[in-house]
């Protein structure tokens, strides 16, 4: 790929799609209640649609857009810091995105964040997977030499 904008956005989209899939699979385990998609949908839909199929669709759409934007930010950070130690950088950027989006922004917007310890640990692991996948895809498909 030759366009950095497309590389960053597609890597973030792929990372957030894998993150949504992992969230869905983990929610099949009894006792686990990670409402990542429904939490995001609360920002965009009225209360009457929360917890419904249209609400989940809107939450998934917003989640994918957010992942796409974060992918472009991660691409910019990698352009500044370099492409060495990408897996470690991906894990750190995933942790940072969890802290920023679920921790700080979730509290500021008064979203109903999960209070159970296991849910937060799974959120962290899910965000680390997002960071690693996004950074790996950016490194894998980035343009090696500038176009002349």
Q: What is the pLDDT of residues 78-116, one digit of tens each?
A: 989 988 898 999 999 989 888 887 777 767 776 666 667
| Model confidence, pTM | 0.83
98: DSSP letter: I
Q: Are 133 and 16 in contact (CB under 8 A)?
A: no
For 61, counting Cβ atoms within 10 Å of its Cβ (0-12 exposed, 13-18 middle, 19+ buried), the class is: middle
d(CA 27, CA 118): 12
Instruction: Please state the rounded mean pLDDT for residues 24-29.
Output: 84
Instruction: Please state the rounded mean pLDDT for residues 115-122.
Output: 77
């Amino acid at each position: 790929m030759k366009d950095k904008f497309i590389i960053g956005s597609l890597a973030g989209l792929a990372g957030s799609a894998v993150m949504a899939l992992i969230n869905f699979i983990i929610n099949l385990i009894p006792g686990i209640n990670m409402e990542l998609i429904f939490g995001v949908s609360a920002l965009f839909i009225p209360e009457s649609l929360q917890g419904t199929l249209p609400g989940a669709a809107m939450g998934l759409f917003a989640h994918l857009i957010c992942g796409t934007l974060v992918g472009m930010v991660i691409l910019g950070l990698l352009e500044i810091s370099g492409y060495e130690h990408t897996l470690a950088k991906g894990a750190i950027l995933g942790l940072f995105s969890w802290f920023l989006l679920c921790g700080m922004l979730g509290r500021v917007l008064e979203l109903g964040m999960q209070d159970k310890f296991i849910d937060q640990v799974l959120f962290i692991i899910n965000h680390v997977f997002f960071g690693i996948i996004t950074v790996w895809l950016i490194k894998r498909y980035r343009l090696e030499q500038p176009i002349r």
